[in-house]
Structure 1
């Protein structure tokens, strides 16, 4: 288990650094628009799907903590959200998947609004 935590930590560090680099580059290309976030979310979801399928098909599940949870989790948590949604969908839990999507988006936005409101009140 200790080895798995190290895999996740190392992958997370690499993924986070990659996300930071993409955000710097994208910020220069499109100031004022979150192209970096959009890009890493889309690329991360594509990579999550490809790697999850590859690891499942080729028996590489031992690499999942480093690649999926670590690297892609650090690159974007949106990829994990997308994979969780598809897992529910493919299990036939359509209503649960749709509720998860709606709840995740609405509650995440509400949490950001709440955090900004409280933070601005405390730190203004």
Structure 2
């Protein structure tokens, strides 16, 4: 049953990633990959929140498989982040490439920490 939950969550996360990326990029109309940044920050927050829930003992394994592994795994994307960073560098928009790395890492860690903090406040 666990692989089915991971697959269902992954499918939903992947579709949401695609739709979010297209919408954000259309709205921003910039070579900077705002869509990928958006889904990675949102996924980091959600995974941080779920981790906080897990730390307080309220996390069933089915929710972990569906949401943490499947949905967050499908929503967030390290490979696209890497590809877009290299693309920016090769297209001679090197400042965007450097900003993409710095902002994605800093915002991802901060977002995950904020999710963890929110879960701690909520479940204690």
| TM-score tier after normalising by the smaller chain length | 0.5 to 0.7
Structure 1 distance, partners of 2:67, 2:25, is 26
Q: Which runs of structure 2 are paired with 1:71-86 in the superposition (5 Å)?
A: 71-78=71-78
Contact 2:5/2:65 (CA < 8 Å) preserved in 1?
A: yes
TM-score, scaled relative to structure 1 = 0.58
Higher-RCO chain (CA-CA 8 Å, sequence separation at least 6): 2
Match of 1:67 in 2: 67
Match of 1:117 in 2: none
Q: 1:70 to 1:58 in 2, by over 3 A?
A: same
Please, which runs of 5 or more residues in structure 1 have no aligned partner?
Answer: 79-104, 114-124
Aligned residues: 82
Q: Which runs of structure 2 are paired with 1:42-121 in the superposition (5 Å)?
A: 42-62=41-61, 63-78=63-78
Structure 2 distance, partners of 1:43, 1:19, is 10
- Runs of 4+ aligned structure 1 residues displaced above 2 Å come to none
**Bigger Rg, structure 1 or 2:** 1
TM-score, scaled relative to structure 2 = 0.58
Shift of 1:20: 0.7
Match of 2:108 in 1: none
Structure 2 distance, partners of 1:8, 1:77, is 16
* C-alpha RMSD of the superposition: 2.4
With 56-65 and 3-12 compared, the bigger mean Cα shift is at 56-65
Give yes or no for the alignment of 1:33 onto 2:17: no
Q: CA offsets per residue over residues 9-58 of structure 1, 9 Å max, x none?
A: 00000000110111111111122221000011111111110111113314
Structure 2 distance, partners of 1:26, 1:61, is 33
